[in-house]
Amino acid sequence: MIGILLITHNALGDSLVDCVRHVMGSVPGNLKVLSVLAEDDLQCKEEEGRDLMEQLDTGQGVLVLSDLCGATPYNIGQRLIQPGHAEGITGVNLPMLLRAISYSHMPLVEVTRKALDGGRDCIVLMNNDEGKNAESGCCDH
């Protein structure tokens, strides 16, 4: 099982986990959150992230999801990734997270691709026919 680490500003990660609980009925054990506050010491947060990754890694790897490219959670995540063993995606959204969880039994490279595709493919205009069509794959988590 691939571990999933959310690194986000404030309580965004916790809110996403609450949404996962709502949609899926429970929160899987392979999902953890590292919340970053403005007053946090970055070195301590990076160490906390490494500890969480160790807890999540069962030998198949860890997918790190951060919220905003170039921001502090992203920078921490970038220091934690190890290509092939710990991959990272920024711009996390709920469809991306649900895909990562739903496919976390697959190899890391596949989970990463499914999460990236899910996050991107589910951004559609609501007044567009594509957004009205459940066949678009948007709801396929």
Q: Per residue in 65-115, pLDDT tens?
A: 999 999 999 999 999 999 999 999 999 999 999 999 999 999 999 999 999
Confidence of residue 127 (pLDDT cuts 50, 70, 90): confident
- The CA angle 75-91-132, to the nearest 5 degrees, is 180
* pLDDT tens for each residue of 12-45: 999 999 999 999 999 999 999 999 999 999 999 9
In a domain, 7, yes or no: yes
Number of domains in the chain: 1
* CATH number, residue 62: 3.40.50.510
> Coil, strand or helix: which one is 88?
strand
Q: Quick check: is 141 in a domain?
A: no
More confident residue, 4 or 136: 4
Is residue 64 included in any domain, yes or no? Answer: yes
**Does some domain include residue 31?**
yes
User: Which domain, by its residues, includes 37?
Assistant: 3-136
